[in-house]
């Protein structure tokens, strides 16, 4: 008999390694820090952790610029620390997913350093996408592609004697040169990297920019008016979501399946719609993809319902579980997106209960269980995200959702690191009121709600997989049944509502009252009922 695959209804907690827990006081979180806090994640009730990149890296893009795919950056620990962390997680029943970054390496990767030192046309240069420039003297980039982070997607090398050399492609930062996936050597290298970590016992991979890697070989200019926006939706960009990328995943699937246990492959693919996403989830490809459509939907009942229905329907066609995600290290934290303050928090908690009641798997981003808001007032000289620099300072970048976690105490770094040490990003003094320690002692805290919800999710057999059936509950109210004895209702109507529902309140994100076959649901509030 085959065991049901663990990821089909797993709640997966994203650990942003640099900002989770700093065991040695250097200001950066690290693997021993994570290991020391695992019992708290087990207590929260998640099923798995996803670790963002901890590989050797100059951290030009927070570690998504990898200089050695088979080792741990000394700031984050050692391979032995990784093994200890994985073992401790497994002992607690937590699975471990790690990031793999195949679209580009760091410019400090030995391959790129060799390429820079080598001649145009050499095998060393062939591993990346080097081209001569256009125009007189080759002074113009080979085409008009723009970097996702802003500015041209091409940078020109200069030889040691000062004369100009070829241009190389980087869809992200210049410190992240794109690998050339037409080369067999690149495929072989990543096959081997996958095996390296699978051998060490990881339960899966989150594949960074899974829609990248394969480029239209003609490297055509993009049409006027077409942006580098990832969800452009107008025409497929010549460097994203190309058909050839699926061959890579069919190969990776064979590798993952050749290992005992159930190893999951998760796509980070910012492509136009659920239909395009589902192509990554065909039976011989990846197991999951982040549902960014859900993440991008605002606090609107109609829009949410449409996205939920579409996500479930498309995934059902390919037989893959739907995922739900509200936040990650690339986007403004959702309590802030939902309006900030008390209102944003209320909506955030209601959105969480909604997401955790839906069929499929859910991703939590560290700190959302504390209701953390985006930090919008980081001093400019503290900002580190390359998007700040590359946007010409028109965008604040993604540091505001990456501020280290407040664990305990009343003074920064709030237990993130040893007392008196400075975290890599400053932590707001007001976070003394949001520490995990404070919230653990408060049954009305976001942490308490997340903990109760995750426990209930495990206990209610109806959750996990299985269909939903909508209940007509009036404008601005989302209500659905799962199985015979579970109902979730969320009020987004802008006013309190009374619903003709009976049952016992299992979890509620605000003050609901039930009785006499009716339930009174304040605005921006969600409730789970056992009926
Ligand atoms: O992100 C891919 C990506 O393009 C989006 O996250 C988003 O468009 C970007 O953050 C906008 O600024 C992945 C990683 O999640 C991200 O942290 C990395 O910077 C990026 O890949 C490059 O590796």
Using the atom order of ligand 1, give the atom closest to the CA of residue 397.
Answer: 12
Whether omega before 413 lies within 30 degrees of 0, making that bond cis, reads yes
Substitution candidate for ligand 1 out of 14, 148, 386 with most atoms within 8 A of CB? 148
Distance between CA 514 and CA 42 in Å, rounded? 31
**pLDDT of 274:** 87
Taking only the tens place, the pLDDT of each residue in 68-125 is 999 999 999 999 999 999 999 999 999 999 999 999 999 999 999 999 999 999 999 9
Residue nearest atom 5 of ligand 1, based on CA coordinates: 330
Structure tokens at 35: 């290991």
Give catalytic status of residue 224 as yes or no.
no
Threshold 0.95, pTM exceeds? yes
Grouping H, G, I as helix, E, B as strand and the rest as coil, residue 304 is helix
**Phi, psi at 19, each rounded to 5°:** -120, 15
Q: pLDDT at residue 465 above 80?
A: no
Question: pLDDT band at residue 260, thresholds of 50, 70 and 90?
Answer: very high
Q: How many helices (H) and strands (E) does the chain have?
A: 14, 21
**pLDDT of 1:** 41
Question: pLDDT band at residue 395, thresholds of 50, 70 and 90?
Answer: confident
Please name each of the domains of the chain with its CATH number: 6-104+184-374+443-450 (3.20.20.80), 110-169 (3.90.400.10), 467-530 (2.60.40.1180)
Return all residues near 357 (Cβ < 8 A) that are at least 6 apart: 457, 463, 480, 482, 486, 488, 526, 528
**Phi, psi at 205, each rounded to 5°:** -130, 140
Grouping H, G, I as helix, E, B as strand and the rest as coil, residue 372 is coil
Taking only the tens place, the pLDDT of each residue in 269-287 is 998 788 899 999 999 999 9
Taking only the tens place, the pLDDT of each residue in 190-213 is 999 999 999 999 999 999 999 999
Q: 186 alpha carbon to ligand 1 midpoint, in Å?
A: 21
Q: 456 alpha carbon to ligand 1 midpoint, in Å?
A: 33
Taking only the tens place, the pLDDT of each residue in 213-247 is 999 999 999 887 665 555 555 567 899 999 999 99
Taking only the tens place, the pLDDT of each residue in 412-454 is 999 999 999 999 999 999 999 999 999 999 999 999 999 999 9
Distance between CA 100 and CA 52 in Å, rounded? 9
Q: What is the DSSP letter of 128?
A: B
Residue nearest atom 12 of ligand 1, based on CA coordinates: 149
**Contact between residue 516 and residue 498 where contact means Cβ atoms under 8 Å apart:** no
Cα dihedral 294, 299, 305, 308 in deg (nearest 10): 20
């Amino acid at each position: 008999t085959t065991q049901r695959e663990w990821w089909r209804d797993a709640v997966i907690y994203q650990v942003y390694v640099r900002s989770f827990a700093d065991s040695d006081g250097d200001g950066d979180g690290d693997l021993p820090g994570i290991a020391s806090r695992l019992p708290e994640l087990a207590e929260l009730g998640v099923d798995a952790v996803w670790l963002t990149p901890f590989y050797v890296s100059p951290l030009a893009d927070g570690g998504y610029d990898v200089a050695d795919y088979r080792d741990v950056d000394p700031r984050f620990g050692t391979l032995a620390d990784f093994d200890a962390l994985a073992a401790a997680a497994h002992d607690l029943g937590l699975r471990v997913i790690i990031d793999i970054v195949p679209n580009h390496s760091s410019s400090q990767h030995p391959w790129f350093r060799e390429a820079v030192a080598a001649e145009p046309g050499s095998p060393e240069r062939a591993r990346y996408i080097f081209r001569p420039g256009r125009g007189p003297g080759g002074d113009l980039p080979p085409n008009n592609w723009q970097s996702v982070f802003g500015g041209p997607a091409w940078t020109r090398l200069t030889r040691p004697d000062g004369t100009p050399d070829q241009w190389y492609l980087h869809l992200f930062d210049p410190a992240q040169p794109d690998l050339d996936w037409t080369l067999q050597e690149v495929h072989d290298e990543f096959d081997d990297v996958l095996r390296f970590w699978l051998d060490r016992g990881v339960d899966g991979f989150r594949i960074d920019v899974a829609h990248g890697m394969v480029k239209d070989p003609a490297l055509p200019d993009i049409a006027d008016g077409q942006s580098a926006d990832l969800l452009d939706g107008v025409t497929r960009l010549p460097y994203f979501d190309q058909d050839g990328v699926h061959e890579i995943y069919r190969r990776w699937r064979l590798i993952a399946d050749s290992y005992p246990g159930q190893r999951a492959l998760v796509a980070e693919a910012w492509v136009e719609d659920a239909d395009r996403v589902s192509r990554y989830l065909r039976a011989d490809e990846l197991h999951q993809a982040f549902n960014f459509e859900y993440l991008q939907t605002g606090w609107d009942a109609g829009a949410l319902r449409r996205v939920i229905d579409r996500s479930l329907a498309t995934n059902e066609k390919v037989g893959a579980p739907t995922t739900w995600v509200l936040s990650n290290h690339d986007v403004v934290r959702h309590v802030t997106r939902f309006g900030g303050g008390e209102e944003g928090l209320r909506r955030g908690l209601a959105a969480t209960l909604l997401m955790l009641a839906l069929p499929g798997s859910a991703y939590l981003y560290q700190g959302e269980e504390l209701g953390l808001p985006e930090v919008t007032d980081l001093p400019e000289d503290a900002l580190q995200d390359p998007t700040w620099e590359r946007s010409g300072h028109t965008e604040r970048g993604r540091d505001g959702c990456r501020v280290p976690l407040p664990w305990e105490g009343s003074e920064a770094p709030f237990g993130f690191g040893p007392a008196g040490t400075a975290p890599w990003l400053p932590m707001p003094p007001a976070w003394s009121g949001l520490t995990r320690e404070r919230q653990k002692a408060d049954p009305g805290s976001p942490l308490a709600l997340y903990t109760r919800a995750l426990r209930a999710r495990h206990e209610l057999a109806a959750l996990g997989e299985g269909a939903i059936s909508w209940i007509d509950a009036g404008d601005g109210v989302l209500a659905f049944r799962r199985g015979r004895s579970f109902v979730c209702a969320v009020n987004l109507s802008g006013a309190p509502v009374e619903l003709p529902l009976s049952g016992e309140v299992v979890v509620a994100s605000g003050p609901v009252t039930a009785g006499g076959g009716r339930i009174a649901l304040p605005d921006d509030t969600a409730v789970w009922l056992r009926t």
